Amino acid sequence: MITERAPAKINLALHVRHRRPDGYHELETLFAFLRDGDEISAEPGTASFRIDGPFAAGLDAEADNLVTRAASIFAQRFAIRADYVIALTKNLPIASGIGGGSADAAATLRALATLHQIPLDHPTLFACADALGSDVPACLYGRSALGTGRGEQLQPLDGLSDIAVLLVNPGVAVSTGAVFQRWDGIDRGPIGAGPILELAHRGRNDLEPPARLLAPVIDEVIRVLEATEPMLARMSGSGATCFALYASEADRAAAASAIRADRTDWWCLESTLV
């Protein structure tokens, strides 16, 4: 059996430049990854898929999903019989802007590649990821990067390792498609160049305003995070999960403790960036 972590993804900045003729949006985004997230295990056997973990109830193992699609496209592209026993431990909230499904698909690809002794940098593996969704190549890469195009064109960036991060989700699922549909279409400029933390501070998330219209509680989450005096607080992806970066683990722990005490129905995850 092969076990792979499916780390949570955050967008330190997400600039939407324009809508493309193919229906996708041209993006510039700063991807960063946490040490914690979901977990995938895979082994040869009669094809099956099961889900457990704190957020398992939000998914249907019998329905179409990115994990089983990843297994199918892997078998197709590598001409390998698709008989795997796959299990997903779902630790991350569903439809929350932190790449849960994309990270699970990427972890599935890594697990199957390892089972078949295929190098993790194999071009066909990245082609599989690209076919599964815009965030899947970044999740397969699994390290901080500037993403352009749909987000699939990746330029590695350094400078984030071991930074303390707190994720907060108010228990609201937000549809990525619905958020993009409400983007106002205004190009507010590129991310630019420089050290990644400087870019993050100068940057923005263009999906935050439309996401706040769909889920006004995001306003409260960001306000509560900013009150803990982090280095940076912002919504990730299309929401509704928000993140805060801290100068120390002690600062992060104090913030998490205060939020958990005051907002008992919010989900919090203390982690670090890799």
Question: Taking 80 as the threshold, does the pLDDT of residue 82 lie above it?
Answer: no
Distances 233 to 161, 190, 219, 224 between C-alpha atoms, Å = 18, 20, 11, 10
Quick one: tokens of 98? 């932190």
273: Cβ contacts below 8 Å, ≥ 6 apart: 32, 33, 34, 35, 144, 160, 161, 162, 163, 165, 245
pLDDT band at 10 (very low <50, low <70, confident <90, very high): very high
Question: Taking 80 as the threshold, does the pLDDT of residue 59 lie above it?
Answer: yes
Show the domains of the chain with their CATH numbers.
Answer: 2-156 (3.30.230.10), 164-272 (3.30.70.890)
Q: Is 38 a catalytic residue?
A: no
Q: For 216-272, what is each residue's pLDDT tens digit?
A: 999 999 999 999 999 999 999 999 999 999 999 999 999 999 999 999 999 999 999
pLDDT band at 64 (very low <50, low <70, confident <90, very high): confident
Question: Taking 80 as the threshold, does the pLDDT of residue 132 lie above it?
Answer: yes
State the Cα angle at 196 between 157 and 39, rounded to 5°. Answer: 60
Q: For 97-116, what is each residue's pLDDT tens digit?
A: 999 999 999 999 999 999 99
Q: Give the chain's mean pLDDT.
A: 96
Marked catalytic residue, from 38, 104, 135, 251: 135
Q: What is the pLDDT averaged over residues 83-104?
A: 95
Q: Is the pTM of this model over 0.85?
A: yes
Q: Is 158 a catalytic residue?
A: no
Q: What is the pLDDT averaged over residues 3-7?
A: 98
13 phi/psi in degrees, rounded to 5 = -150, 150
